């Protein structure tokens, strides 16, 4: 597997994989894939990566700011999505490890993630990469008319912001 940066030219691959995540019903509260402008505006300029092999785009991961307040400049939210045909093949682990590495090179000291309770593969992925559950937001959003909780996880860097 190799990593390339997400940009406007390959964003259609991100959209395809994101649509698969939406269809699972456990990956996001979003019901529509965003366009490039919206996605670009809502993600940090670094930590936008796609995993690929010789023939396929396998998955993507990205960072977004959790707040515009200066005190939280070193805190980012993680998104990781894997193409359906490559799930269970350590693509998510590869992406998350790279994202952690990139985040620390950019002075991010805390990574956060919000997961639906039913997304057990993502929960396992995060806890296997040093994220810990810090709580949950009760019935924080609706998906298809059903109120759902969101498990909140965080990972504190061992090298940045000590």
Give the model confidence (pLDDT) of 93-104 as tens digits.
999 999 999 999
Mapped onto helix, strand or coil, the DSSP state of residue 98 is helix
CB atoms within 10 A of CB 30: 13
pLDDT band at 162 (very low <50, low <70, confident <90, very high): confident
The CATH homologous superfamily to which domain 2-112 belongs is Gcn5-related N-acetyltransferase (GNAT) (3.40.630.30)
Is residue 65 predicted with pLDDT exceeding 90?
Answer: yes
- Mean pLDDT for 88-113 is 98
Residue closest to 141 by CA, chosen among 103, 115, 104: 115
C-alpha to C-alpha distance for 34 and 135, rounded to whole angstroms: 28
Q: pLDDT tens, 2-55?
A: 999 999 999 999 999 999 999 999 999 999 999 999 999 999 999 999 999 999
Residue closest to 50 by CA, chosen among 15, 6, 86: 6
C-alpha to C-alpha distance for 76 and 130, rounded to whole angstroms: 15
Q: pLDDT tens, 115-157?
A: 999 999 999 999 999 999 999 999 999 999 999 999 999 999 9
CB atoms within 10 A of CB 27: 21
Q: What separation in angstroms does the CA of 61 have from each of 24, 68, 152?
A: 17, 21, 18
C-alpha to C-alpha distance for 59 and 136, rounded to whole angstroms: 26
Virtual CA dihedral for 144, 119, 138, 134, nearest 10 degrees? -160
C-alpha to C-alpha distance for 64 and 46, rounded to whole angstroms: 9
Is residue 1 predicted with pLDDT exceeding 90?
Answer: yes
């Amino acid at each position: 597997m190799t990593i390339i940066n997400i940009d406007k030219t390959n964003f259609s691959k991100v959209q395809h994989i994101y649509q698969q995540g939406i269809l699972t019903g456990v990956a996001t509260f979003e019901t529509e894939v965003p366009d490039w402008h919206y996605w670009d505006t809502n993600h940090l300029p670094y930590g936008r990566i796609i995993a690929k092999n010789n023939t396929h785009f396998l998955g993507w991961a990205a960072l977004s700011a959790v707040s515009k307040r200066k005190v939280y400049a070193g805190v980012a939210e993680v998104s990781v999505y894997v193409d359906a045909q490559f799930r269970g093949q350590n693509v998510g682990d590869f992406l998350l490890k790279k994202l952690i590495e990139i985040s620390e090179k950019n002075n991010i000291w805390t990574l956060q993630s919000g997961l639906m309770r039913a997304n057990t593969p993502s929960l396992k992925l995060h806890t296997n990469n040093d994220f810990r559950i810090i709580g949950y937001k009760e019935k924080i959003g609706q998906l298809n008319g059903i109120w759902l909780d969101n498990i909140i996880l965080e990972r504190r860097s061992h090298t940045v912001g000590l």
